[in-house]
Structure 1
Amino acid sequence: MKKGHLNIRRTSHPLRSRMTLLVISVLAVLVGFLMVNNLYAIYVVRGNAYDANASMLEMAVKQIDGIFEVADNYWVGFTDELDIYTLEDPDSRLEFEVAKARLVSAMNYTLQSYSYIDDLFIYVPKTTVFQNGEQIPPQLFDAAKYTMTAQERTHIRRMIMDHITAVEGKLSGDWECMSWNGQYYLVRIIKFQNLYVGSCASVENLLDIIRSNGLADLDYLTWFENNGTEMGQVLPELEEPLAIPVSAERFTCTLDRQDYLVMSYPSRCGEYSLVGFAREQEIVEGLALFQQIIIILTIVMIIYIFAFSRMLRVWILKPMRHLYGALMRLKDGDLDVRLKDESASPEFQLINETFNSMIENIEKLKIDVYEEKARHQKTQMRFQKAELQYMKLQVNPHFYINCLNVIHNLSIMKKNELINDMTTYLGNHLRYTMEGTTVDDLSKEIDYVRNYLKIQELRFPGSIHRHIEIDPKAKSVKVPPLVVQTFVENTVKYQVVAGEETDIYIVAEYLEKTDGGYVCIEIWDSGDGYDESILKKLNREEMIVDDRGEHYGIYNVITRLHLIYGGRESVKFSNHWETHGAYVIIEIPDIGQEAER
C-alpha cells in the first residue's frame, strides 16, 4: 500500500511538545501541593513524636527478644555441663550439693551480663534416694539479681514449681506470663531429660528499663498478652479487653474519656506485645486547618484531572485505541486491516505507516513460511516413521536359529504334529514382526505374546507358566508392536532354564486420569530380578552395555514410546515385592488413531 492511501494530515505541533506541556503542568501542581504540605508540617511537628516512639517501641522489643534468645541459647549449651547429669543421678548428698553449688556459681556469673533477666533457675522435680536411705526432696535453686528480695525469690520459686505441676510437664516452648500476688513475670521453662531449667524477668523491671531508654514521654507503657489481658496494673480499668494485633500496628482506644493512639509491637519469643499509649489530641493538633486546605486542593485537582483527561484522550488515547484495535484484528489473523490515522501527531503517523508496511511484508512471507513448514513436517514424519520401523525390525537372529533347531530335533523324533504347531507359531511370529504398522490394538499384541510363549513352551516343556489378565476396556487401546513381547522375551532369554519352572505375569488395566485415558501394563516374572546397577541405568533410560555388547531391546521400546507419545508415556523398572523378579510398569495414553500419524 502506498503512503498516499493513509489519509494522514500533517501538523506543526508534535506530540513531544504537548507531552512536555502536560508534564510541566503536572509538576507545577505537585510543587504547589508540596509547598502547602510543607506549611502544614509546621503544625504537626509534635505528631512526628508518634513515629519516633513507635520506632523506640520496636527497638525495645527486639532488644529484649535478643536477650531472651541469648538466654535460651545459654541453657541449650548449659546442658552439656556434667553437673547437670550429676543432679539427675548423684552417688551421694555431697556430690549433689557440690554440683548444685557449681551450677549456682555459673548462673550467678552469667546473670550479670543479662540486663533484662532477673533470675536463672534449675528445678529437680523428683525425690533423690541414696543407697543408705538418705533422701533429697524436690527443690528449685536459682541465681537472682541483688535487687530481688528473698521473699520475692521464694514466691517466684513457688510460682514456677506450681506452674510445672499444673501443666504436667507439657510446656508451651515460649516465654509465658505468670503472676504472684499482683506481680507479673515473663518466664521461660526448658525441660532437659528429668530436670527443668529456665529464666525469669520481672515485667515491672522491664518497663522501668524501657522507659529509661527513651520512652518516658508516652502516657502509658505496658505489656499485653495477645488475648487482650494486661500484664500488670498500669492502665486505668478497661471496660473490655483490648484486641491486640499479632503484628506491629496502630489503633485507637478511649481511656478516662480521652482518645489515645495505641502503638504495639509483638514479641517473637512469646504470645505478648509491648503497647504504648499517646494522647491523640496532641498528635492531631493543627489538623483542622490542613483539612480545609486539602478540600480546596482536591477541587482544584479534580478540575485539572478532568481537563488533563480530555487532552490525553484526544492526543494519545484515541490513536492508541485505533492501533490496539488493529493489533487485535491482526492477532485474529485478519491481514486486511490498515490504519488510516487522522491524528495530528507525526509520531503516530510514523507508527501507522510502519504498521501498514509490516502487514504487507507479512502477507508476502506468509505463503512461503507455510509451504516451508509443510515440507519440513512431511520430511520429519517420514524420518520418524522410518526410524520406528528400523527399531521394530531389530530382531535377535538367535531366536530364529533356536526355533529351527527345535523343528530339526522334532523331525528327528518324528513328532510331526508338534512340527506343524511350531511352524504355525513361527509363521505368525514372522508375520507380526514384519508388519509396517506404527501401533496396533493391545489385544493383538497380547495374542502375539501368547503365540511367542507357545513357541518357547515347545522349547522348554513344563518350564514356563504364563498368567495373563487384560481389562476388556484396555484391549482396543493402540500400543506400539513388541512393547510387551520385548520384556517377555528378556525373561525367557535370561531366566528360563530347562527343567526349572518360571512364572510370567502380564496384567493390563485401563485408567482414567485428568488428561484422559491410559492403559497401565504390568509385566513381571519369578526370576532373579534386575541388578541394582542395571535398574539405575534402566530408570535413567540408558542403553545396557556389558561383556556381550549392547542390548537394544528395552532401549528401543523406550525410544519408540517417546517418538510416538512425546513424553506422555512412562516406563518404570523395579523388582517385584513378592516374586522378587524383574518388574516393569508401562503407562500409555489412549490417543486412538493419532498414534498412527
Structure 2
Amino acid sequence: MKTKRRNMGYPVVQILRKTLWTAIPVVIIFVFISGYSFWEIRRQNNLALENAITIYQNDLSHRLDAIAHFVQWTVVHDPILDAFSSEKHMGDFRQAGNDLRLRVSDMQYSTGSEYMYFFYWDEGDIFINASELTVNYETYKKIKKKVIDDVEKPVSGDRFSWIPSVIDGKTYLYYLVTYKHRTFISLVSIDDILSPLFTINLGSHGNITFQDLAGNTYYQSAKSPEGLIGYYYNRLYFRGEDAGLPFTLVIDSDMLGNYGKIFLLQFLVVLTALALSLIMGGYILVTYKRVILPIKIFSSNLSKMDSLSDAESASLDLTDSKMQELNQINDQFKSLVHEITRLRINIYEAELDQNKFRILFLQQQIKPHFYLNCLTTIDSMLSLGDASAARKMLQFTSKYFRYLFQADKDYVPLSSEIAHAEDYLDIQMMRLSEDIDYSCDIDEKDMDVMIPPLLLITFVENIIKYAEPSDDSLKISITGHDYVRNDEDYIEICIRDNGQGFPLEVIEKIRAGEYLTTDDGTHIGISNCIRRLKLLYEDRFEFTLENDELGGGVVKVGLPFLKGIMNNASSAGRR
C-alpha cells in the first residue's frame, strides 16, 4: 500500500490551493497596512498643499495691497500727473508720461514686471501705457476700450478693489482708481498670478479654478477629473475672504501627490514581505519536491530534443509519476512532434512548387496579339511584293520567338537580354516603319553577368507602347555601370527614353512598395518584374522608377553580380 501511495500523481492545482490558504492571513495584514498608509499619506499631502497655498496667498495679498496703495497714491498725490491739464502742451504730456514710467519701473522692481500699468486722462482723451507691454497690439486696444468704458460707465459696487475681467479671451485682474478725470490702472493676467502654483504637483488630472467672491468662475487651468478617477482627487477650497484676496481658489489635487512614490515604495516593501512569508514557509520543501523537481526533469528531457533524430525524439519518454499533468503533456507532445515534422515537410515542398510556378507564370505572361501583329506584317510585306523586307522581318521574328521559348532558366547572360531587346526593336521599326534612335553603353566585361530572362524587354515594350517623344524620333538608351552595395559587387542597368515620362501616381506607388493594379492592365509588366526580382533575389536588389529633369522616363535596376557558372550549377541541380 505504501508503494502504491508513493507512485500516485499530485495535481498542481491541489498544491497551489494549499499554498493559497497559507497566504490568506498575510494578505489580510497587507491590506490593513496599505489602507492605513493610504489614509495617512493623503492627510499629509493635503496638509502640505494647504501650507503651500497659505504662503502663496499671504505673499500675493501683500503684493496686491502694495500695488493698490501705489495706484491710489499716484493718482491722488503724485505731482507728475498734474501735467495732464488743459493748460499744458503735448510736450509736457510726453515728459510727464516718461516720468510716470520711471516711477512705475521702480515699483515693478519690487512687485514684479508682470503687472502692467496704464494711465487715462478723459478730458484730453489720452491713454498711455506706463509700463512695458506684455500683450500684443490687438489685446492692448481691447484693454484700452475696457478701461475707457469703465471710466465713462462706472460699475456698481466697491470700485477700490481688484476686479476680474475677460479681455480678448484671456482672464485678467485689474485695479482702477479715478481722481479729477485722471485714471490710473494696474492689470495682470491670471496666468501670471497663478504661475507659482503651477509648479505644485497636482497630478495628471489636477487643476486650479479661479472664482470671484460671488462664486463666478473666470479661469480653469484644466478640465476637472470626472468619473471614477474623480474619486482619486481631493477638492480643496481657499476662500479669498479668509486670506484678504479678491478671489477664491478651488484646487483638485491627487490624493497622494508628492507622497505617491513613498506609498508605492511602502507598498513594494509590504508586498516583498508577503512574498517572503510565502517563500520561507515550511511548505516550500514539499512544493519543490512535488512541483519544481518534476518540471526540471521534464525540461531536461525536453532539451535533449535538439540533439536527437526524429525517430529518437518520438521514442523519448517525458513522463514523471509524481505529476499527472506531465504525463498528459508527454502523450500530447509526442503526437505534436509527429504532426509538426509532417507539416514542415509538406509546407517546404509546397513553397518550392509555388515559387517555381510563380516564376514560370510571370515569365510566360506575353501578350498574344504581338504574335498576330508580326504575322500580319509579314503577310502585308509579301502581298506588296517586298520579299527582302519580309525575309528580314521573318529572321528578326524567328530570333525573337526562339529566345522566348528557350527562356526557361532562372538567369541568362546580360548579352542575351540585350540581343533580345535589339531584335524586338528591329521588329517594331520594320512593322511601324519608324526609326528608333537606340544606343547601348555597357562594358564588355559586364555582358556575362547573369540576370533574370525577359527582364529588359518589359521596359523596352513599355516605352514603345506608351512613350510619346517631343522630337520626331523615339530615343532609347541602355547603360550599365558597376558599384558596391553591402560589400558586394552590383551592376546597375539604366533604361532611358525621351517620352512624356511616367505618371506621378505610378512613381509614388513604386516608391511606396505597392504593386501597380489597373483596370486596363497598363504597367502590369512592371509589377510582374518586381515580383520576379523579389522571388529570385529577396531584398538583394534595387529598383527605381523616375522622370528625368530634361524629359523622359528612367528605369534603374541594381542586381548583384552572378556569373555564368552559377546559372549552370543551378540548372544542373534542377536536372
What TM-score, normalized to structure 1?
0.49
Partner in structure 1 of residue 294 of structure 2: 319
Specify every segment of 5 or more residues in structure 1 that has no aligned partner in the other structure, as ranges. Answer: 1-6, 61-86, 88-95, 123-141, 161-173, 187-199, 202-208, 221-246, 252-260, 264-282, 285-290
Aligned length: 412
Say whether residues 1:464 and 2:439 are aligned partners.
no
Say whether residues 1:432 and 2:398 are aligned partners.
no
Choose from 51, 74, 93 the match for 2:45: 51
Q: Name the aligned partner's letter for residue 316 of structure 2.
A: V
Are 1:388 and 1:438, in contact at CA under 8 Å, matched by a contact in 2?
A: no
Are 1:119 and 1:144, in contact at CA under 8 Å, matched by a contact in 2?
A: yes
Partner in structure 1 of residue 19 of structure 2: 22
How far has the Cα of 1:25 moved from its partner? 1.5
Are 1:576 and 1:582, in contact at CA under 8 Å, matched by a contact in 2?
A: yes
Partner in structure 1 of residue 201 of structure 2: none
Are 1:442 and 1:474, in contact at CA under 8 Å, matched by a contact in 2?
A: yes
Are 2:493 and 2:556, in contact at CA under 8 Å, matched by a contact in 1?
A: yes
**Structure 2 counterparts to residues 179-194 of structure 1, below 5 A:** none
Q: Residue 280 of structure 2 aligns to a residue in which SS?
A: helix
How far has the Cα of 1:36 moved from its partner? 6.4
**Structure 2 counterparts to residues 247-286 of structure 1, below 5 A:** none
Say whether residues 1:396 and 2:370 are aligned partners.
yes
How far has the Cα of 1:299 moved from its partner? 8.8
**Structure 2 counterparts to residues 459-498 of structure 1, below 5 A:** 463-470=435-442, 478-493=450-465
CA change 1:295–1:519 in 2 (3 A) is closer
Q: Deviations over 1:441-493 (max 9, x none)?
A: 33431232234335555667883222434478975554332222233234335
**Structure 2 counterparts to residues 506-521 of structure 1, below 5 A:** 506-508=478-480, 520-521=492-493
| In structure 2, distance between residues paired with 1:557 and 1:146 | 72
How far has the Cα of 1:98 moved from its partner? 12
| In structure 2, distance between residues paired with 1:489 and 1:51 | 78
Q: Name the aligned partner's letter for residue 555 of structure 1.
A: I
Are 1:512 and 1:518, in contact at CA under 8 Å, matched by a contact in 2?
A: yes
Are 2:378 and 2:390, in contact at CA under 8 Å, matched by a contact in 1?
A: no
| In structure 1, distance between residues paired with 2:142 and 2:506 | 64
CA change 1:29–1:536 in 2 (3 A) is closer
Are 2:178 and 2:184, in contact at CA under 8 Å, matched by a contact in 1?
A: yes
Q: Name the aligned partner's letter for residue 559 of structure 1.
A: N
| In structure 2, distance between residues paired with 1:427 and 1:410 | 21
Q: Name the aligned partner's letter for residue 28 of structure 1.
A: P
Choose from 325, 339, 345 the match for 1:351: 325
Q: Residue 466 of structure 1 aligns to a residue in which SS?
A: strand
| In structure 2, distance between residues paired with 1:449 and 1:295 | 78
Partner in structure 2 of residue 441 of structure 1: 413
| In structure 2, distance between residues paired with 1:59 and 1:442 | 83
Q: Deviations over 1:405-449 (max 9, x none)?
A: 69759984x9x7x88876664443233222122432334312322
How far has the Cα of 1:396 moved from its partner? 0.8
Partner in structure 2 of residue 339 of structure 1: 318
Partner in structure 2 of residue 558 of structure 1: 527
Q: Name the aligned partner's letter for residue 339 of structure 1.
A: L
| In structure 1, distance between residues paired with 2:141 and 2:352 | 93
Choose from 498, 501, 505 the match for 1:526: 498
Are 1:120 and 1:144, in contact at CA under 8 Å, matched by a contact in 2?
A: yes
| In structure 1, distance between residues paired with 2:25 and 2:172 | 66
Q: Name the aligned partner's letter for residue 458 of structure 2.
A: T
Choose from 335, 355, 359 the match for 1:361: 335
Are 1:9 and 1:342, in contact at CA under 8 Å, matched by a contact in 2?
A: no
Partner in structure 2 of residue 79 of structure 1: none
| In structure 2, distance between residues paired with 1:148 and 1:378 | 89
How far has the Cα of 1:22 moved from its partner? 1.7
**Structure 2 counterparts to residues 97-246 of structure 1, below 5 A:** 101=145, 104-105=148-149, 118=164, 147=175, 156=186, 214=237
How far has the Cα of 1:249 moved from its partner? 9.9
Q: Residue 316 of structure 1 aligns to a residue in which SS?
A: helix
Choose from 467, 470, 475 the match for 1:503: 475
CA change 1:155–1:13 in 2 (3 A) is same
Partner in structure 1 of residue 354 of structure 2: 380
The structure richer in helix per residue is: 2
Q: Residue 365 of structure 2 aligns to a residue in which SS?
A: helix
| In structure 1, distance between residues paired with 2:365 and 2:297 | 57
CA change 1:36–1:431 in 2 (3 A) is closer
Q: Residue 577 of structure 1 aligns to a residue in which SS?
A: coil
Q: Name the aligned partner's letter for residue 338 of structure 1.
A: D
Q: Residue 338 of structure 1 aligns to a residue in which SS?
A: coil
Q: Deviations over 1:58-91 (max 9, x none)?
A: 999xxxxxxxxxxxxxxxxxxxxxxxxxx9xxxx
How far has the Cα of 1:317 moved from its partner? 2.0
Are 2:499 and 2:553, in contact at CA under 8 Å, matched by a contact in 1?
A: yes
Q: Residue 550 of structure 2 aligns to a residue in which SS?
A: coil
Q: Deviations over 1:291-310 (max 9, x none)?
A: 9xx99999998576333544
| In structure 2, distance between residues paired with 1:97 and 1:354 | 85
CA change 1:306–1:155 in 2 (3 A) is same
| In structure 2, distance between residues paired with 1:249 and 1:508 | 70
Choose from 19, 28, 33 the match for 1:31: 28
Q: Deviations over 1:494-533 (max 9, x none)?
A: 5589x93221133445665669776654433223445679
Q: Name the aligned partner's letter for residue 479 of structure 1.
A: I
Are 1:471 and 1:510, in contact at CA under 8 Å, matched by a contact in 2?
A: no
Partner in structure 2 of residue 306 of structure 1: 280
| In structure 2, distance between residues paired with 1:526 and 1:297 | 76
CA change 1:544–1:342 in 2 (3 A) is closer
Q: Deviations over 1:337-389 (max 9, x none)?
A: 3224253xxxx2x2222233234434654665466446645653563354245
Q: Residue 496 of structure 2 aligns to a residue in which SS?
A: strand
Are 2:474 and 2:497, in contact at CA under 8 Å, matched by a contact in 1?
A: yes
Say whether residues 1:450 and 2:422 are aligned partners.
yes
CA change 1:354–1:459 in 2 (3 A) is same
| In structure 2, distance between residues paired with 1:8 and 1:590 | 72
Say whether residues 1:541 and 2:510 are aligned partners.
no
| In structure 2, distance between residues paired with 1:178 and 1:300 | 45
| In structure 2, distance between residues paired with 1:106 and 1:471 | 89
Are 2:476 and 2:497, in contact at CA under 8 Å, matched by a contact in 1?
A: yes
Q: Name the aligned partner's letter for residue 25 of structure 2.
A: A
Are 1:469 and 1:507, in contact at CA under 8 Å, matched by a contact in 2?
A: yes
| In structure 2, distance between residues paired with 1:295 and 1:570 | 58
Q: Name the aligned partner's letter for residue 312 of structure 1.
A: T
Q: Residue 391 of structure 1 aligns to a residue in which SS?
A: coil
The percent identity for this pair of structures is 17
Say whether residues 1:11 and 2:8 are aligned partners.
yes
